[in-house]
Amino acid sequence: MCGIVGYHGREGARDILIDALRRLEYRGYDSAGIAISQDGSVKIARKQGKVSDLWNAICNENFEGSMGLAHTRWATHGVPSERNAHPHKVGDITVVHNGIIENYLELKESLKQDGRTFVSDTDTEVIPHLIVNYLDKGSDFEEAVRLALKRLKGSYAIGVMRDGSDTMIAAKKESPLLVGVGKDEFMIASDAPAIINRTNSFIFLEDNDIVIITNGEMRITDFDGAAVNREIKTVQWTGAMAEKGGYRHFMLKEIFEQPRALTETLIGRIREEEGDVVFEDLNLPDVSKIRKIWMVACGTSYHACLIGKNMFEANLRIPVETDIASEFRYRDPILDKDDLVILVSQSGETADTIAAMKEVKKKGLYTLAICNVLGSTLSRDSHGVIYTHAGPEIGVASTKAFTTQISVFFMLMLYLGKLRGVLDGDDVRRHLTELKKLPHHITAILKSSAAIEEIAQANMHYGHFLYLGRGINFPTVLEGALKLKEISYIHAEAYAAGEMKHGPIALIDENMPIVVVSPKDQTYKKTCSNIEEVITRRGKVFLFTDSFDHDMAPKVNAVFVIPETIYELQPILSIVPLQLMAYYMANHLGTDVDQPRNLAKSVTVE
C-alpha cells in the first residue's frame, strides 16, 4: 500500500522525509522517491527497492530545502521500476499519488492528442499533465490543481509542488491523508506513524478536501474553492501505537480496515455502467475451452476457495474442485490441458501452494494466482495474477486478506461469465451494484462491534464451540472456527449444519455453545430445524442472520443481524462478526492476538 509524506517548514526536509518513509515501511512497497524544492526548482530522486537504497543514492547529494514530498509505491499500474516510481514531474509540476485513477486511459489519450508525451506506465502521470495543461491555459497553481482534480475518477491522495513556488497542495478522495500540525511546520502523511515523532496534532482530512500550505500558513477548501473548517485533534499515541492506528492489536486494526481494503481491491476493476469487470495482464487461454476449474490453497485461503467454488459452479456451470495445497500433489489429480488452475495465497510464499503451482506448470496447464504481495514467488511464477489490494496484513490470523480474496473470486466469476456468454451486461451490472455496497455494509457491522464484544466476554470461559452453517456459509463457519482456534486457543469445530445429526449432535449440552450463521436464503428453513435440534438438547445458540424476524430469534441466547446482500456475497459480511468475536475472546483471555503461539504469518516450509 503506497505511502505519502510531505514537509513544509523551516528545517531541512530531506532527513525528515526519509525518516517518515522508514516509518511507513510496514505498509509494504516496491520503490521509493523524494522531491525537494531548492533554488527555484524541484529536485527528484527515485529508486526501485527499499528506502535504504534511496537514502544511499542521495545521502551525499545536495538535497537541501525546507519543502518536499516523498513516496513509497506499491505497483498497481506499471511494473516496479525507477521510471514508474513517484514523484512524477511534468514541466514544473511534481506529484505524488496514492490510489487509482479509473479514467486514466481516456485522460491519457486526450492528453496525447494535445501533444503530451508520457514516460511511465502509471495512471498517476496524467495528474501532472492535467495540471500543466491548465497552467498553460492561464490558470494559477491552485486553480489548475482544482480543475485537474475535477477531471479525475477514482480514488486518490495527492501532494503537489511547483518549481519556483513556496506552496504545497494536497488533496484527498477515498484514500487516506492527514495533516500534521507542528511548531512552524506542516506535514502531510498517509498514516500517523510517519510523523508521530514530530507532532501529535492532526487534521484528519475528509473526501474532497484540498489543503494549501504556503508562507507558514495552511487553509483547507473544497473542490470549488469554498473554505472548509477541520478540527485539529490531539492523539496520545506512541510510535508503536500509531502503527496500529491507535488500535490495541494489528488484528483489530485489520478487521476495521476491511471496508477500505475492499474498496481498494475493487477500484479500477469494475465498470458498473458498462456492466464489465476489467483485469490487467491475465493472459488467459481460450475460456470457452475450460473443462474444469481447480482452486488450490491452504488455511484461510482454502476457505476462500470453497466460497469461490460455490459462486463459480452456481453461475458459470463449470465443475470446480477445491484442494488443500499440501494434499494436491500427492493424490496425483487427473488434470486436462484445458483446465484452469487458480492458486490462492495471502503472502504468495506459501510453500505447499508454490509446490502445487510448479507441479501444474510441469503438466502444461495455465496457472492464475490470487495474491496480496507484489513480487512474491507465486505472483512472479504464475502465468497470470490478480492482486488483492488489502495492504500489509501484520496479524498472523488473516482477516482482510480473506474478504478481499472472496471479492476477487466474485469479480473473476463475473469476468469469466461474460467472456463465456453465460452472463450479460445487465447480469454483471446488477451484481456489481451489490458488490459496491459491501464496504458500507461492513462499516455498519463494525459500528455494532460492542454488541459482539459483550457476547464474547460473557462466553469466553467455555472450552469448546461448535459452528454451523449451510451452503455458501459453510466455508464461512469453517473460517470463523479457525479464527477462534488460532488466537484464543479455544477448541472450535465447524460443520455443515445438515451434518450435525450425523455425529456432532452427541456433543451438544449446556456446556457446548453453538454459533450459527443463518441468513434467509434457500437453506433457511433447514437451518431453523437444525437450531431447534440444538435447543432441544439445551445447547446455547448465538445466531448471526440478515433478518430481524428470524423464526429462531426468540428462542436463542443472542442474535446479531448483518445487512442483507445477494447469496454469493453473504460470506464477506457474515465473517466480520465472527472475526470480531474471536478477537474479543482472545483479547479478554489475554493471549498474544497478533502472534499466537506456534503459528507463522507465511508458512514457507512444507
* Catalytic residue annotation: 2, 601
Q: Are 201 and 10 in contact (CB under 8 A)?
A: no
Residue 81 makes CB contacts below 8 A (sequence gap 6+) with 31, 48
Give the CA count within 13 Å in the CB-facing half-sphere of 459.
24
Q: Cα separation of 538 and 522, whole Å? A: 27
| CA pair distance 233, 537, nearest whole angstrom | 53
Phi, psi of 278 (to 5 degrees): -120, 130
424/413 Cα distance (integer angstroms):
12
10, exposed or middle or buried, with CB in 10 Å at 0-12, 13-18, 19+?
exposed
Contact 469, 494 (CB under 8 A): yes
Angle at 56 between CA 54 and CA 62, to 5 degrees: 90
Contact 277, 414 (CB under 8 A): yes
- Give the Cα separation of 188 and 181 in Å (integer): 9
Using DSSP, state whether 537 is helix, strand or coil: coil
Q: Give how far Cα 54 sits from Cα of 22, 38, 188, 350, 536, Å.
A: 11, 19, 20, 30, 66
How far apart are the C-alpha atoms of 233 and 248, rounded to whole Å? Answer: 19
Sequence-distant (6+) residues with CB within 8 A of 312 are: 293, 318, 320, 409, 413, 416
Between CA 480 and CA 469 the distance in angstroms is 10
CA torsion through residues 186, 192, 198, 204, sign: positive
In terms of Cα–Cα distance, which of 468, 417, 402 is closest to 314?
417
Give the residue carrying C-alpha cell 513544509.
8
**Residue type present at position 341:** V
How do beta strands 513-517 and 293-297 pair?
Answer: unpaired
How buried is 273 (Cβ within 10 angstroms: 0-12 exposed, 13-18 middle, 19+ buried)? exposed
DSSP one-letter string for 23-70: HTGGG--SEEEEEEEETTEEEEEEEES-HHHHHHHHTTS----SEEEE
Question: Running DSSP on this structure, what letter comes out for residue 498?
Answer: G
Distances (CA, A) of 588 to 14, 115, 316, 582: 44, 62, 44, 10
All residues at 6 or more sequence positions from 36 whose CB lies less than 8 Å from its CB, including other chains: 13, 14, 42, 43, 63, 64, 65, 67, 68
Q: In the chain, what is the straight-line distance between the N-terminal and C-terminal CA atoms, in Å? A: 29
